[in-house]
Structure 1
Amino acid sequence: MHDMPTASPVSRAWAAGRRWLDGRTVHRHTLDLLVPLICFGLMLLDVPGVAEANESLNRFSATAVLAVGAGSLLLRRRFPWIPYVVALALLGWLHELTLMQFALYKIGRYRGRAAATMATLGYVVFAYALYLHERWPEKQADTLLEFLSLVVPIGVLAAGVGVAANRQDLVRELEVQKGRAAALHAVQQERLSVARDVHDFVGRELTLLAVRAEVLAVRARGEAHQKDFDELSDTARKAHRILNEIIVQRAREENATPGIAALAELATEGERAGSPVVLDIDPRAAALSPLRQAAVYRVVQECLTNAVKHAPGEAVRVRIELDEVYLRIEVTNGLPRSLPTKEPVSAGTGTFSMGERILSMGGTLEAGRRDGEYRVSAVLPAGV
């Protein structure tokens, strides 16, 4: 991460130079060295005046002192207050302002607005005390107003730029974290998609294989191959159980999607929002695979959300039926008696997302007004 705010032309040129150096970015340790060197280069311009104003220093010793001061910037990331204290010392001794500008910027950059404000106030008070004691800087400021017009803008500008850079650092870090979260979510969704495909397609074939083997075992009853067919059926069923326990269970853990048992909590939330919810759930639904239960939960969740938004106060009935072949989900609610005073916030993609989920599992979904109520009906293979 560079040390200048990206919003300024200087920072953009700085970033371009970094990309030019190695095609992508300068190593952090290289940048840590460049900043003190830049500061020292600017301070070298003051060496003649410093040596002339201070009899205890010549040009060589003044250069060495300024080099030590600039070197304190090597600690700016972890200990930004150290360059600040050194800058105050140089300010009181040699009336040197260059390092103070860097120090205030670094405090704003690495410690934020509150620290930058405190450091700027401390710098102004310290400089004002020097002004009262030594009439510093005598040549540049003959009056207090002239003095403050020199000291205050330097501190406020340097600290303000540092605070702006700090905020941009936080924004960039947030973007990085959001990117990581999005990438992780994409990976989890891909894993869930693979698990769903394996469960739906491979699981179906394993079920057919087990049933077919049982039929052949019945036909071969009393013959030598009956035992082989029975073993084949048991193996297919065992493979299917392993499929559920390993692939599907892990997919559910990664996706963290609730199942049938969590519908009661959804109903409670709907009632708190003002829409009474009646659940009619086939007890056998609790034995559905995790992917089927996740589909049921998401459909009911979306329907209850839509009912609260578009038909507040209307009762909602949730019915889940299960037989040997199909799983049926039906959610109905009354239509609103009057138009809402404010248009509800809605992306308009909820029904589409429900349909995509059901379709991906080999089912169908219908939604719309019917017989004076709004009804969502989904039918999909029961699975195992």
Structure 2
Amino acid sequence: MPRILAPLLSASTYSRWLHLMIGPVFVGVVLMVYPGVEGWSPGEVLARAVPVDAALLGLAALVPAMRRAEGVQARLLLVPDRERDIAVEPARGWADRRRTAAWLVGRVLLGGLVGAASVLLAGAAFDLVARPERTVFGPLADGPGGSVWAPLLAPVPLFALGWLVVGAGRLQLAMAVRLLGPSPAERLATAELRAERLLERNLLARELHDSIGHALTVTVLQAGAAREVGDPAFAAEALEIIEETGRRAMDDLERTLALLRDPGEPGEPGEPGGRGASGDPGSGEDARERPGIDRLPALFETTRAAGSPVEASVDVRSGALPGVLSREGYRIVQEGLTNALKYAPGEPISIRIALRDGNLELRCANTLRPHPAHSHPARPSGAERGRTDGSPRRGGKGLRGIRERAVLLGGEATAGAESGEWVLAVRVPLRLDG
């Protein structure tokens, strides 16, 4: 019973009824102007009025603002579950105008039918109460009990009218979503734009993770080493490294936050997802400021200063890589060094970068630390807590980010223990497709 009565008691049902009744009002106004209601049979009136109504509605649909007005009205009175299903933008082309015309004709036609049914059913309920002799109970009205049974049946046409309004309102809402909402092509374009913006934000989040994570790791290790050593000269050098690392991290943070605050329109030069002067995604001014392979020596020096020896072999000449490969290669190596510093501080790190068979190959390996069961190290520092065998935690965001970078570049990345080392290997094609 509640499921049957709930729609009849909902405020949205009656707001949709009001929306439906605008159709009969429009038809009535047109009938008074042409062809009139006197001297014609109902069939003749409809035959003459329908073409006039359709022509007027078609002309109204040519006005771009009409689509916006109908969308606003539909949102207010039809009460959609999601407002964005009904657009409030003016018509942009002939396809929008055709859909607006179909909506206007459909809503007036449906509203006219509901208006006529409302008059008939409401009149039937009134007759059952006030004039039962004019109903099918007329012959019994003069008999015993005839005037009692008829009023008891008055709720039946009202109940039917209520559910007619509920069904017509739902149909009207479905028409509005179909004809006033975005077209399938527009929905696809919106979904693609949303996916592109989500990808851009994920890329920015990954940039923050790599840059800030590396800076914090170096800072923690340098501060811990300075406290343990107690040498003023060493402490001064550590503070200098911390200052320089923090400054670079702040630059990365400010650039990324600026992009997040003002993402701009997709496709604009210099914006995330846009195309810069070189035609590559993200190759605008902000992208060119991001570090590339040529900045790796400074990264290696920072890692050595943090206490981990680095043996590096970069067999890639300057300018040999496309900008996007150079930048992503830098971030991949940075994340590999960060993992080595976090999970195996002080252990030797080997870096190999080369071009082979049209591919960029990167290999980052660090010696696995002895398992704590075989040694009794001192209390680990904050950077060492967690995995003490020198291998990153499974499912870490850093390794997942590296794999995502490699896949987006058309390559692959693997990570795991090999012969006493934790090895990160990345291979991406030098020539990017598309």
TM-score, length-normalised on structure 1?
Answer: 0.37
Compare the two structures and name the one with the higher helix fraction.
1
